[in-house]
Amino acid sequence: GFYVAVWLLGFSLAVPVTTVLYLKIAGREKWPITIILTLIAWGFFYGLFDYALHIPFPESLLLAWLGF
C-alpha cells in the first residue's frame, strides 16, 4: 500500500495519507493522536531525506498525469 501511494502521490503526500489511514482504520486511534503521530512521521521522513541526506522526494505520478 505504501509503495503504491508513493508511486501515485509522491513521497511528501504518501507519508501523511498512509499514516492517517493506518492509524484511523487499523489502529482505531483518536484524531489528536493520529494528527500528532502523522506530523511526527512526516517530519521524520522530511528531516531525514530532504534536510539531512539532501535526497529529493520522488515526484508524484498522479500529479504529473494531471499536469501539476
Q: pTM of the full predicted structure?
A: 0.80
Residue 64's pLDDT is what? 85
Q: At residue 41, does pLDDT exceed 80?
A: yes
Residue 59's pLDDT is what? 80
Residue 58's pLDDT is what? 76
Q: Which residue reads 501515485 in cell numbers? A: 8
Please state, as a whole number, how many other Cβ atoms lie within 10 Å of the Cβ of residue 6: 19
Q: Judge whether 5 and 18 are in contact, CB under 8 Å.
A: yes
| pLDDT tens per residue across span 4-39 | 998 899 888 999 999 999 999 999 999 999 999 999
Q: At residue 51, does pLDDT exceed 90?
A: no
